[in-house]
Amino acid sequence: MPELPEVETIRRALSEHLPGRSIVKIQVRDARLRWPVDETRLRQLLLAQAIVGVKRRAKYLIVEFEQDSCLILHLGMSGQLLFLTERQPFHKHDHVIFTFNDETQLRFRDPRRFGMVDASAPGRLREHPRLVNLGLEPLHRGTTFGKLHQRAATLQRPVKNLLMDAGFIVGVGNIYASEALFYAGIHPATPAAVLSETDWRTLLGEIRKVLRRAIRKGGTTLNDFVDSNGETGYFQLSLAVYGREGEGCQSCNTQIERLVQVGRSSFFCPSCQRPA
Ligand SMILES: [Zn+2]
């Protein structure tokens, strides 16, 4: 499943291809994605306007148009975005095709069809049902450790679960959460309310580091063929604890342990990450 760093990498690639182009044709070959694709709505909101930029909110890609309407894309489990020309034959899972004014195309390919293709009317992006309840963006400057501390102050849930909750913070993902908690020296089962402002400062710093490292990796592995490989949501990061149960901690050599929290594996060093 594509994770935040991969989506951010794709956003950067799209930002190089799309601005200045406008859509002259929209074809929906299969509308049965996670939410049905509304072809009429896409046409009404997006045709014949220039694209001005590409943003990201959580794992949604947001293509902005000159009159302030937006195309909203989510890659789901196996979605890919391909930048091709009209001449290239359709692949059987090319479900939505946007043709630009210069015969190039953006194709939304998604074998498992858990992705999303939708549009928002001018000025209505924030109210979109998929975006309205999203939590803080880890890489935005406005997301401060003070804000996280304040919002977590009354929450007794384990910090690991909170990091995985998109209503609190978006795009951290299971592997990144384990890794950031290790580097911050925080046990994954620590009740969120117990963490001090200093803990949140350290933790937010480590979350950003692990995400940025993955984005840098992505930047070097993706070429100008805009692609998201459904198998490699986590690029080839070297991981300190994730997937290393029973191996020695890189810092103290204690055996890494695994813990299951809300159905997901957390990996931690019992010595570097003491329970609160
Ligand atoms: Zn250790």
Residue 226 pLDDT > 80: no
153 in the same domain as 119: no
204 in the same domain as 244: yes
Residue 108 pLDDT > 80: yes
Global confidence as pTM = 0.89
**Ligand 1 center–CA 159 separation, angstroms:** 19
Residue 219 is predicted with a pLDDT of 57
Residue 34 is predicted with a pLDDT of 92
Judge whether 145 and 206 are in contact, CB under 8 Å.
no
Average pLDDT over residues 14-36: 94
13 in the same domain as 66: yes
Residue 223 pLDDT > 70: no
165 in the same domain as 64: no
Residue 139 lies in a domain: no
d(CA 143, CA 93): 38
Q: Which of 117-126, 212-221, 228-237 has the highest mean pLDDT?
A: 117-126
Residue 233 is predicted with a pLDDT of 43
Taking a 5 Å cut-off on Cβ, the residues next to ion ligand 1 are: 249, 251-252, 254, 269, 271-272
Q: Which residues pair with 261 in a beta bridge?
A: 264
Residue 232 pLDDT > 60: no
Residue 84 pLDDT > 90: no
113 in the same domain as 158: no
**Ligand 1 center–CA 271 separation, angstroms:** 5
| Among 33-47, 87-101, 175-189, 232-246, the least confident range | 232-246
Residue 224 is predicted with a pLDDT of 37
d(CA 191, CA 261): 13
**Ligand 1 center–CA 104 separation, angstroms:** 52
Residue 228 is predicted with a pLDDT of 39
**Ligand 1 center–CA 254 separation, angstroms:** 5
- 3-state DSSP call for residue 207? helix
- 3-state DSSP call for residue 269? coil
Residue 209 is predicted with a pLDDT of 96
Structure-token pair, residue 91: 């692949």
120 in the same domain as 156: no
Last residue of a domain, one of 71, 92, 127: 127
68 in the same domain as 182: no
250 in the same domain as 174: yes
Catalytic residues, by residue number, are 2-3, 59, 264
State which residues form the domain around 97: 4-127
Average pLDDT over residues 130-156: 97
**Ligand 1 center–CA 198 separation, angstroms:** 20
